[in-house]
Amino acid sequence: MEQTIQELYDQVLERKENPVEGSYTAYLYDKGLDKILKKVGEESTEVIVGAKNSQAELTYETADLFFHLMVLLVDQGISLADIQAELGSRVGQKSKLHERSDWR
């Protein structure tokens, strides 16, 4: 079974709007922003470690990070459309890489 990022976002949003007993997502919202940020930080570090170890570990840890990022975005009232719009605004932007002195 597969789950799109949008489906994950929608489920996480549903947990925010209708907290369910025993839900880890609802627990994170209950704990608040600092807890969510702590988890995003931890999962980011685990992605870095995972990338050094194996593709399987990187995949697993990236899924964990995506989940916690979705929780953060929902908590802060940011939609996936907001992120897509930001990414879209960058399409075709000239890379500034050539302006960097350390570029070779």
Ligand X SMILES: N=c1c2ncn([C@@H]3O[C@H](COP(=O)(O)OP(=O)(O)OP(=O)(O)O)[C@@H](O)[C@H]3O)c2ncn1[C@@H]1O[C@H](COP(=O)(O)O)[C@@H](O)[C@H]1O
Binding site residues, ligand X, CB under 6 A: 8, 11-12, 15, 20, 23-25, 64, 67
Of residues 37 and 85, the one with the C-beta less far from ligand X: 37
Q: How far apart are CA 95 and CA 84, in angstroms?
A: 19
- Nearest approach in angstroms of CB 29 to ligand X is 10
CB of 39 to ligand X, least distance (A): 6
Task: List, as one string, the DSSP characters of 68-104.
Answer: HHHHHHHHTT--HHHHHHHHHHHTTPPPSGGG-TT--
34 or 102: whose CB is closer to ligand X?
Answer: 34
Q: Which of residues 12 and 73 has its CB atom nearest to ligand X in the complex?
A: 12
The C-alpha atoms of residue 87 and residue 34 are separated, in whole angstroms, by 26
